[in-house]
Structure 1
Amino acid sequence: MSTLQISLAIVGGLVLAGVVAYNAWVTRRSAPRTARALPETEAAAAAPEAAVATQPAEPTMGEDQPLGDQRIEPVLHDEPMSAVSVREEVRSPQVAAVTLTHVVSSPEKKPGLDALIDVIAPLQLDGVVSGDAVIAALPGTRRVGSKPFAVEGLIEDGGDWEAPRPGQRYKALQVGIQLANRAGALNDIEFSEFVVKAQAFADAIGAAPDFPDMRAEVARARELDAFASGHDAQLGLTLRARRAAWSPGYVTQHAARFGFVAGVLPGRMVLPGSVVGQAPILSLSYDPQAALAEDPEQSALREISLSLEVTHVPRAEQPYVKLRQAASALAEAMDGVVTDDAGQMLGAETMDRIGADLEALYDALDSHDLSAGSPQARRLFS
């Protein structure tokens, strides 16, 4: 073999090796970042947050569960918030670090009928009735149109109203239907259906219902719905990858270190509140198809969403502060940027302005006895 042939073979080999190395580099660069084993010091620091996973992951509320997939633009004044045009990253707010190592309170009592947001019709009884008889007479469905229908009994000895229970005895009963929810205000047809359903239940237990005036209740429903429509808010932030995409495991690992736990649905995590059974403070979500993939670590996520159901979380939990902290911390840890739905980067000034608007919203809800996170607010804004 001549010297020229040997030289050409060497050059060809070098070129081939260069192509293989380049392709490997491109593949490595474009592959999604995956979860890694934590160093011992980091694992020890993450231990308190990991303990949260032993709690129920996400509370369920049956028919009153909030519409988690619905994104609602906040309307806090007479005109909607202006579009975000500031192109800068969110700066970390000067607040104390968020932890979940505080004492968890006892679960709250399930909300009952309330004259503020319900039509209530008392049932006149001839005597004490058993909870078993009441349960046997209940209608097959607890909804009238788009509104929840409820029956409550007044305990013979305790004097408290509650949903009927076997073995209990009640000296009075009442039925009710919610005046408004996110589906709209109670209308004439729904009120009429409520009367029919309540009358059938009353007949089954030998009671006489006392219904309020339909026109007055429908007018009250419209007034309540108008207030709710102007004070409903769900805030959402988007975290977008700067360069390399993320795998679901990579996102889960970083979110868990901040205190998020697995939610009920694939591709969803939640930051639990301080009260068991309370709505989650924040939700983190990403493409559920990536979470359900045969090999999730090979799924590439370019963005994830953080959301806050404003009316469902008590002000005392500082949910907006935690939303900003979570967004800033995750963006820094995962090499991402914080934007709105349209991809505009959110600046600290804009975030401060939204926070001020939220304080005004909280004050308005408080003034109408519908404080954020209260049972009444959670039912109305569902």
Structure 2
Amino acid sequence: MSELQIGLLAIGALVVVGVLAYNRVQERGAKRAAQLSFRSGHADVLMEQPVPAAERNLLQETQRPSVRAAPPDDAAQPDPKVDYIVELSVEPPAMRPDAQTALKTQWSAIERRHARRALLAGSADGRSWRAGLQLVSRDGAVGEADLIEFRSAVETMAAAIGATVAAPEMRAAVDAARALDDFCAETDIQVVVHVQGGPFPGTKIRAAAEASGLALEADGKFTLRNDEQRLLYTLGARDGSAFTAATIREAAPEALSLALDLARTPDTRRSFESMIRLAHQLAAVLGGSMVDDNGNLLDERAIAAIAQQLDAVRARLESHGLPPGSPSALRLFS
């Protein structure tokens, strides 16, 4: 074999080794990226304390994918625990009429752009305002680009009305949004129990629900609300089919589901106990049984365990100034 052939073979071997080494590096990099992408940093709040196996299925069923909730009411105010707040102020005398028009017009555009996540509150003397952008919702944390866009729009509005602006540092707001999002992910709990053993007559379901104070609403579920019309829990067909006043006589679901959204429910413990009482009543009246998602029967020990865990999550929310059912909690968990 000539020296040229030997040289070419050596070069070829080096190329192969180089390609294999590059592929190995790429493979490890991709594997590490995948691990980082799919690894969750959140502890399972309801499973932090050891529980007997018989109770574990029910506890797992309380941490479910979040459900979409109605937006907050118009009485909500910017809250530093929840919002990135830009403060605006004008010097006396009060604003000119054309400046007031500019304020309304430009704020309406900001509000439309941010889909009700933006709030504006004015002082009694009409010379200062607090413009807030909600940092977190069930869609996740607000991004830095959105914060920059919001702040820029508010500064433009301030210039139009002759106001000065004071705004928090952007990086700190982004970090706060991420931390708040982590906290919300850990405390976003929904409890769902089922009554199975149907078909169940729709008329009996309606009678039991109405006797417990629930009313049939437009979404096809029976709903219990408090005196302030805050949602406490719902009762519906497990397969998602809607109940209607016109068809309730023909309704015959195989199973029912009762659901309580912890962060959005005031007086959580009493609401949970009321929901469980209704589940027991339905099971007795309809000849069914209370089960979790896996069809396991729910006994009093499991129900007591979940009540204690809900109390713990409620206490965490309250310690952060976000009592379940409060205006700020309703905004965050929506």
> Fold match, TM over 0.5?
yes
Q: Cα distance 1:245–1:78, how it changes in 2: closer, same or farther (>3 A)?
A: closer
Q: How far 1:295 sits from its partner (Å)?
A: 4.7
Letter in 1 for 2:75: K
Which residue number corresponds to residue 280 of structure 1?
A: 231
- State how 1:87-106 maps to structure 2 within 5 Å: none
Question: Which of 154, 179, 183 is residue 227 of structure 1 equivalent to?
Answer: 183
**How far apart, CA to CA, are the structure 1 residues paired with 2:51 and 2:110?**
43
1:139 corresponds to which residue? 108
Deviation at 1:260, TM superposition (A): 0.4
Contact 1:234 1:308 in 2 (8 A): yes
Is the contact between residue 125 and residue 207 of structure 1 (CA under 8 Å) also seen in structure 2? yes
After superposition, give the CA deviation of every residue in 1:259-305 in whole Å (9 maximum; x if it has no partner): 1012231x21111113x24x211111225645359754333211111
Scaled by the length of structure 1, the TM-score of the pair is 0.64
8 A Cα contact 2:234 2:258, kept in partner: yes
* Matched residue, 1:117: 82
Query: Quick one: distance in 1 between partners of 2:113 and 2:52?
Result: 39
Query: Residue deviations 1:11-49, cap 9 Å, x none?
Result: xxxxxxxxxxxxxxxxxxxxxxxxxxxxxxxxxxxxxxx
The answer to whether the aligner puts 1:377 opposite 2:329 as a matched pair is yes
What letter corresponds to residue 268 of structure 1 in structure 2?
K
Whether the aligned pair in 2 keeps the contact of 1:76 and 1:231 (CA below 8 Å) is yes
Please name the residue that 1:29 is paired with. Answer: none
Shift of 1:145: 5.5
Q: Return the match for 1:270 from 207, 223, 227.
A: 223
- Report how far residue 205 of structure 1 moved: 2.6
Q: Supply the AA of the counterpart residue of 1:140.
A: A
Which letter does structure 1 place at the counterpart of 2:87?
A: P
Report the counterpart of residue 280 of structure 2 in structure 1: 328
SS of the residue aligned with 1:140?
helix
- The verdict on how the C-alpha distance between 1:196 and 1:83 changes in structure 2, with shifts beyond 3 A counting, is farther
Contact 1:239–1:338 under 8 Å retained in 2? yes
Query: Does residue 175 in structure 1 map to residue 155 in structure 2?
Result: no
Give the drift of 1:196.
2.7
Label 1:273 to 1:292 Cα distance change in 2 as closer, same or farther (>3 A). closer
Establish whether residue 150 from structure 1 lines up as the match of residue 104 from structure 2. no
Gaps of 5+ in 1: 1-73, 87-107, 157-169
SS at match of 1:377: helix
Distance 2:49 2:221 in 1: 28
Alpha-carbon distance in 1 for matches of 2:180, 2:112: 19
- 1:45-71 C-alpha deviation (Å, 9 max, x unpaired): xxxxxxxxxxxxxxxxxxxxxxxxxxx
Tell me if the contact between 2:193 and 2:259 (Cα under 8 Å) persists in the aligned partners: yes
- What's 1:189 paired with? 145
| 1:296-325 Cα deviation digits (max 9, x unpaired) | 433321111101111112237611111211
Letter in 2 for 1:333: V
Whole-angstrom CA distance in 2 between matches of 1:343 and 1:268: 22
Match of 1:313 among 248, 265, 287: 265
- Shift in Å, 1:209: 2.4
RMSD of equivalent CA atoms: 3.0
Give the 5 Å matches for 1:221-260.
Answer: 221-241=177-197, 244-260=198-214
Q: Please state whether the residue corresponding to 1:319 is helix, strand or coil.
A: helix
* Cα deviation, residue 240, structure 1: 1.1
Q: How many residues align?
A: 271
Aligned-partner residue type, residue 283 of structure 1: T
Change in Cα spacing, 1:109 to 1:214, as seen in structure 2 (3 Å) is closer
Structure 2, unpaired ranges of 5+: 1-42, 56-72
Is the Cα–Cα contact under 8 Å of residues 118 and 177 in structure 1 kept in the other structure? yes
SS of match in other structure, 2:108? coil
1:351 aligns with 2:303: yes
Asked if the contact 1:149–1:178 (Cα under 8 Å) also holds between the matched residues in 2, the reply is: yes
1:377/1:293 CA distance change after superposition, 3 Å: closer
What percentage of aligned pairs have identical amino acids?
A: 25
8 Å Cα contact 2:226-2:232 kept in structure 1: yes
Change (3 A) 1:290 1:223: closer
Contact 2:119 2:132 in 1 (8 A): yes
